Amino acid sequence: DSGVTQTPKHLITATGQRVTLRCSPRSGDLSVYWYQQSLDQGLQFLIQYYNGEERAKGNILERFSAQQFPDLHSELNLSSLELGDSALYFCASSVADRGLTEAFFGQGTRLTVV
């Protein structure tokens, strides 16, 4: 158990819909990262937050947005869903954004868009 909690574990929704994925980082971790893993793309970095502020942005679509709340949990919002958005979405957390501490990953949310 990494200490990072992601909910829900599985999500099935229809095209065009909007969903919210939630991540609770390890206690004391200030930095949260979101990754998308689909069969043909591997693990793709989406976005990073540190103590409530956006720190780095990867290949995140405009239909996707994220935020980190004062209690440090984070949410990834996916809207106007397409079939190609079906993937595993992982959240990771680490103590600092610039320090080289290891990042711990949650078990992921499997999103299926039908």
Partner 1 sequence: DAKTTQPTSMDCAEGRAANLPCNHSTISGNEYVYWYRQIHSQGPQYIIHGLKNNETNEMASLIITEDRKSSTLILPHATLRDTAVYYCIVRGAPHGKLTFGQGTILTVHP
Tokens of 111: 């999103």
Single residue of 19, 21, 94, 111 touching partner 1 by CB under 8 A: 94
Q: Does 12 bind partner 1 (CB under 8 A)?
A: no
Single residue of 40, 42, 62, 83 touching partner 1 by CB under 8 A: 42
The answer to whether residues 55 and 38 touch, using CB atoms and an 8 Å cutoff, is no
Single residue of 90, 93, 111, 113 touching partner 1 by CB under 8 A: 90
Strand pairing class (5-7; 10-13): unpaired
Q: Does 22 bind partner 1 (CB under 8 A)?
A: no
Which is nearer to partner 1, 103 or 113 (by Cβ)? 103
Which is nearer to partner 1, 61 or 104 (by Cβ)? 104
Which is nearer to partner 1, 79 or 97 (by Cβ)? 97
Measured between alpha carbons, how far is residue 43 from residues 40, 46, 53, 88 in Å? 10, 9, 23, 9
- Encoded one letter per residue, x for contact with partner 1 by CB under 8 A and - for no contact, window 58-87 reads x-----------------------------
Tokens of 101: 């501490």
Measured between alpha carbons, how far is residue 14 from residues 18, 40, 113 in Å? 9, 21, 5
